[in-house]
């Protein structure tokens, strides 16, 4: 057998190596081939998205969030990969903000652009757009060149369910943090075992929550509790006898970065002028106020996605156990060998954390004393170290 790929090395398929077995079968299979993956190329993304669609996400109405990489767009639009017609492709707002800073080089305006993306309604979107217009017309032109339905919550039709970034997938980095520097085969094995362990753990947790009688997820309950508190200060005016159309007026500051206002709520159309109802598929404070006024249960407007039963069903499919190698069938295919000249040797410890870019917002933290927590000095020079004078 051929040795594993050296740590940190790039894998070159089937190339001769002095450490390979001397058997004719192994040597004949170690013929030069192409790289397993050269990088984020069109072929690599085609391979990944095709198998992802076939084996992981065959469902309809899937929303894929990614950056604006041309290879991803090309692979997604390739009909042979199976994504067209039954799914949607939108942009990660963090990557949009990163590209905005690189093009405009203004971090303050970047916050305005991010607010445009997160804006749940068209009115809020236009408010932040106007703020950019007053500051920089070039920045507005850059933003307007992006299709609104690809990066904004106000125009996406609710297909994101409130997920504006790819952080949902980036969260898996914590699972893989300690194994990034492993050889290819060890990396695949560690990934499989860690995911199997994670799914088993999450499956037990969701089953326990379901057994406790809890109906909705904790994230859903937090949003509903917040909306319930705000709904108590709303004044509702009924506009039809069938309890479908209402005007809901806020009497207190909603603490959402906007002034208090009044909104049209239409229960049959599942619509509210604030936009949260359509974006999150959860009743907002205005919808809850209208439901209370009409003696209708607001739970009827909570989508089934937020039910604990739905979450528990995600973990029903168990990972099959990998049997001992002695029980595997005899393999007669190609053998993958490393190329020592492709090994990347770097000084210091291998980096395991994510590389920070323009999308990361760093604010200088005020330096405070370690004893009295007053700024301007450290604990060695702290005038309060001896306590108050008599």
Is the confidence at residue 137, as pLDDT, over 70? Answer: yes
How far apart, in whole angstroms, are the C-alpha atoms of residue 185 and residue 193?
Answer: 12
For residue 163, how many other CB atoms are within 10 A of its CB? Answer: 16
Which of 238, 273, 306 represents a domain boundary (last residue)? 306
In terms of domains, do 302 and 223 share one?
yes
Cβ proximity of 270 and 301 under 8 Å: yes
Q: pTM of the full predicted structure?
A: 0.74
Cβ proximity of 133 and 116 under 8 Å: no
Question: Domain limits at 261?
Answer: 218-306
In terms of domains, do 252 and 299 share one?
yes
pLDDT tens track for 296-352: 999 999 999 999 999 999 998 889 999 998 998 998 888 877 777 766 666 766 666
Is the confidence at residue 388, as pLDDT, over 60? Answer: no
pLDDT tens track for 157-188: 999 999 999 887 777 777 777 787 788 888 88
**Beta strand extents in 256-305 (DSSP E only):** 262-266, 271-272
Which of 244, 277, 306 represents a domain boundary (last residue)? 306
In terms of domains, do 224 and 294 share one?
yes
In terms of domains, do 223 and 271 share one?
yes
In terms of domains, do 370 and 246 share one?
no
DSSP 304: G
Is the confidence at residue 247, as pLDDT, over 50? Answer: yes
Is the confidence at residue 358, as pLDDT, over 60? Answer: no
Is the residue at 260 inside a domain? Answer: yes
54-59: average pLDDT: 90
In terms of domains, do 180 and 317 share one?
yes
Is the residue at 92 inside a domain? Answer: no
Is the residue at 346 inside a domain? Answer: no
How far apart, in whole angstroms, are the C-alpha atoms of residue 232 and residue 45?
Answer: 50
In terms of domains, do 204 and 319 share one?
yes
Is the residue at 301 inside a domain? Answer: yes
Is the residue at 77 inside a domain? Answer: no
The per-residue pLDDT for 272 is 95
Q: What is the enclosing helix (H) or strand (E) of 88?
A: strand 87-91
Residue with tokens 């992006």: 146
In terms of domains, do 374 and 254 share one?
no
- In total, how many domains does the chain have? 3
In terms of domains, do 195 and 264 share one?
no
Is the confidence at residue 141, as pLDDT, over 90? Answer: yes
In terms of domains, do 193 and 272 share one?
no
Is the residue at 184 inside a domain? Answer: yes
Comparison of pLDDT for 2 and 304, the residue scoring more: 304
Span between the terminal Cα atoms of the chain, in Å: 80
Is the residue at 201 inside a domain? Answer: yes
12-29: average pLDDT: 35
Q: What is the enclosing helix (H) or strand (E) of 91?
A: strand 87-91
Is the residue at 380 inside a domain? Answer: yes
* Confidence grade of residue 251 (pLDDT, cut at 50, 70, 90): very high
* Confidence grade of residue 86 (pLDDT, cut at 50, 70, 90): confident
In terms of domains, do 222 and 294 share one?
yes
The per-residue pLDDT for 184 is 80
5-30: average pLDDT: 36
The per-residue pLDDT for 90 is 95
In terms of domains, do 185 and 318 share one?
yes
């Amino acid at each position: 057998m051929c040795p594993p790929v050296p740590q940190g090395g790039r894998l070159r398929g089937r190339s001769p190596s002095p450490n390979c077995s001397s058997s004719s079968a192994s040597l004949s299979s170690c013929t030069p081939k192409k790289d397993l993956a050269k990088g984020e190329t069109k072929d690599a993304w085609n391979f990944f998205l095709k198998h992802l669609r076939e084996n992981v996400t065959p469902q309809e109405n899937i929303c894929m969030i990614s950056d604006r990489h041309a290879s991803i767009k090309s692979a997604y639009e390739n009909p042979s990969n199976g994504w067209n017609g039954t799914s949607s492709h939108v942009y990660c707002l963090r990557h949009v903000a990163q590209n905005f800073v690189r093009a405009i080089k203004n971090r303050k305006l970047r916050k305005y652009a991010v607010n445009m993306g997160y804006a749940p309604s068209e009115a809020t979107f236009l408010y932040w757009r106007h703020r950019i217009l007053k500051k920089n017309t070039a920045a507005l032109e850059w933003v307007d060149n992006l299709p609104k339905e690809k990066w904004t919550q106000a125009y996406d039709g609710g297909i994101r369910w409130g997920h504006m970034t790819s952080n949902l997938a980036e969260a898996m980095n914590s699972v893989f943090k300690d194994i990034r520097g492993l050889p290819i085969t060890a990396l695949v094995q560690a990934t499989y075992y860690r995911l199997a362990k994670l799914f088993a753990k999450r499956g037990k947790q969701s089953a326990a929550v379901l057994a406790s009688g809890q109906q909705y997820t904790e994230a859903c309950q937090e949003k509903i509790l917040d909306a319930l508190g705000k709904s108590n200060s709303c004044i509702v005016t009924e506009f039809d006898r069938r309890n479908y159309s209402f005007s809901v007026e806020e009497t207190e500051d909603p603490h959402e970065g906007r002034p208090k206002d009044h909104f049209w709520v239409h229960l049959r159309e599942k619509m509210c002028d604030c936009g949260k109802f359509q974006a999150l598929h959860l009743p907002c404070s205005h919808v809850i106020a209208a439901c209370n006024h009409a003696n209708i249960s607001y739970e009827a407007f909570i989508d089934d996605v937020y039910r604990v039963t739905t979450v528990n069903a995600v973990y029903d499919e168990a990972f099959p156990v990998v049997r001992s190698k002695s029980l595997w069938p005899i393999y007669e295919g190609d053998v993958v060998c490393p190329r020592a000249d492709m090994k990347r040797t770097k000084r210091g410890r291998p980096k395991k954390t994510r590389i920070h870019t323009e999308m990361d917002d760093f604010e200088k933290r005020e330096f405070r004393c370690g004893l009295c927590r007053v700024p301007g000095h450290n604990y060695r020079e702290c005038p309060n170290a001896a306590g108050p004078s008599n």
